[in-house]
Structure 1
Amino acid sequence: MTSAALPIQTGDRRRRVMITPEGIALPVTVASRGARVGALVLDFLILFVALLVFTLLLGWIFGGVIDEIVDNADENISGAGEFLFIIYVIMLFLARYGYFLACELGPRSATPGKRMTGIRVASRDGGRLTAEAVIARNLLRDIELFLPLIFLMVAPSGDMGAAGFAGMVWFLIFMAFPFFNKDALRAGDVIAGTWVVEAPRAKLAETLSTQGAAKGTSGLTGATYQFGEEELSVYGEHELQTLERVLRDNNDEALVAVHATICRKIGWEPGAGDERAFLEAFYAQLRARLEGGMRFGQRKRDKHS
């Protein structure tokens, strides 16, 4: 089943409804351009401070070797100096690429800067954020940010010529790409099939982690929902997180759609009128099963695992 992101008819122009591959409608809010710029500035500030501390630490530990590298920059340096230089270059590479890749591939799909501004990276089809997508969107940062900045720094010197100015304009188009579309997508987002959305800080209702919810007793109808091992085994951590968002948003249409999807998947006959109690019970029991598996080193990341 294909997926799509549809606008919600409300006063907020950044609100969308995302249709997942399972046919579940999830309301999301596209992150503002200001929040994305703020997150990027914070991330670069974190990287700058980390590199400064790393450089000072190297200078304190290997001060003599560094002095040798500086004094003999045009001559042969010792093996220790070469090794230290290679370590520093590797650190710069990891800071430039590894920081964003590692953070966005984590469970929160966000760098510290994004987390502080309340946004995260997500797949536009509602599926799991893959490593290929994260790598693709981050590799294009050179074209979208670093190369335009380099051209802008060189431009005042007047040494670029007509070809240089044409290249600068070309790369500036990539830099300004988020202003050319309503979802504030970078070129990297377009290629990777991702977007950046707001990450709600609200927590699940307390009833989801109570014993009553785990037992699956509805406060509305008195019905008891108990699911067996075979029924709970069809879903993993990704689907649990999706269900968590649905319960948090408490959108009636989404609750009905998810309820019908789960019932169809596990072979139950979907009723009507008690969808939230059913989903709370399924969430609590699925979470308990997954947490129990983790204690024994067994993880089920998604329904395909």
Structure 2
Amino acid sequence: MNQEQVQVKTPEYVSLQFQSAGLGSRASAFIIDQAIIMIANITILIGAIYLMDFMGLFMGTSWVPIAIVTILAFLINWGYFFFLEYFTGGRTLGKKMLGIRVMQENGHSITLLSSFIRNLLRIVDQLPAGYLLGILMIFFHSKHKRLGDLAAGTLVVHERRVRKRKKKTAIEKEIERRGITR
């Protein structure tokens, strides 16, 4: 399948070309991220059940542990995308595994506000069920954007893979051994 190229003009009038991430790569990254979130949620839930059992709270009417688990689950489910995209250069763990990242439309790294807006609108993208609105937007938009991307001014692109260098030739090894610069 021919991937579309997205051209970004920086403020310095440098033109950069990126390959936009389509529905398949974005959905695959999202599935990986959701699996990680599910493991974290299950771990917290099991930990809370053991803690409540240990403290003997099952027979009581204390809602504090349930409230704490609910707040932690919300923070994990929403904060995972928000914080990871901002603090790791636009990559969640799923995006990193698939070689895609979120960036600003001007080519810069995602900002805190953009990450907040993009992930706040994830709630709308999930409507009416099963991420249908987000899937349709990504599929039909020319730059594969969902509503969160449109509002935040972001793009999801494929990263260029750095090719590993071949083994050094004998001349290169000798140059390095002697400490000669090129």
TM-score (norm 2): 0.81
Q: 2:65 aligns with which of 67, 74, 84?
A: 84
CA distance in 1, matches of 2:3, 2:100: 17
Report whether the alignment pairs 1:133 with 2:149.
no
Instruction: Give me the identity figure in percent.
Output: 29
Report whether the alignment pairs 1:201 with 2:166.
no
Q: 2:46 aligns with which of 48, 51, 56?
A: 56
Q: Secondary structure at the match of 1:110?
A: coil
CA drift at 1:172: 4.6
Q: What residue number does 1:122 align with?
A: 103
Q: Is the 1:30–1:183 contact (alpha carbons within 8 Å) kept by the matching residues of 2?
A: yes
Q: What residue number does 1:148 align with?
A: 128
Distance change >3 Å, CA 102–CA 143, structure 1 → 2: same
CA distance in 2, matches of 1:66, 1:202: 55
CA distance in 1, matches of 2:12, 2:88: 21
Larger radius of gyration: 1
Structure number with the bigger relative contact order (C-alpha 8 A, sep ≥ 6) is 2
Runs (4+) off by over 3 Å: 64-67, 171-175, 203-206
CA drift at 1:17: 2.5
Distance change >3 Å, CA 20–CA 66, structure 1 → 2: farther
CA distance in 1, matches of 2:50, 2:115: 36
Q: 1:181 aligns with which of 129, 136, 141?
A: 141
CA distance in 1, matches of 2:86, 2:56: 35
CA distance in 2, matches of 1:28, 1:173: 25
CA distance in 2, matches of 1:66, 1:140: 40
CA drift at 1:128: 3.5
Q: Secondary structure at the match of 2:156?
A: strand
Q: Is the 1:21–1:126 contact (alpha carbons within 8 Å) kept by the matching residues of 2?
A: no
Q: What residue number does 1:45 align with?
A: 35
CA drift at 1:201: 3.0
Q: Secondary structure at the match of 1:27?
A: strand
Deviations 1:160-197 (A, max 9, x none): xxxxxxxxxxx954541112212110011011100100
Q: Is the 1:122–1:194 contact (alpha carbons within 8 Å) kept by the matching residues of 2?
A: yes
Matches within 5 A, 1:8-47: 12-47=2-37
Q: Is the 2:89–2:110 contact (alpha carbons within 8 Å) kept by the matching residues of 1?
A: no
Q: Secondary structure at the match of 1:126?
A: coil
TM-score (norm 1): 0.50
Q: Secondary structure at the match of 1:105?
A: helix
CA drift at 1:105: 0.5
Q: Which runs of 5+ in 2 are unaligned?
A: 167-175
Deviations 1:40-96 (A, max 9, x none): 11111111111111222222233145752xx56xxxx2xxx3331221111111112
CA drift at 1:16: 2.6
CA distance in 1, matches of 2:155, 2:113: 14
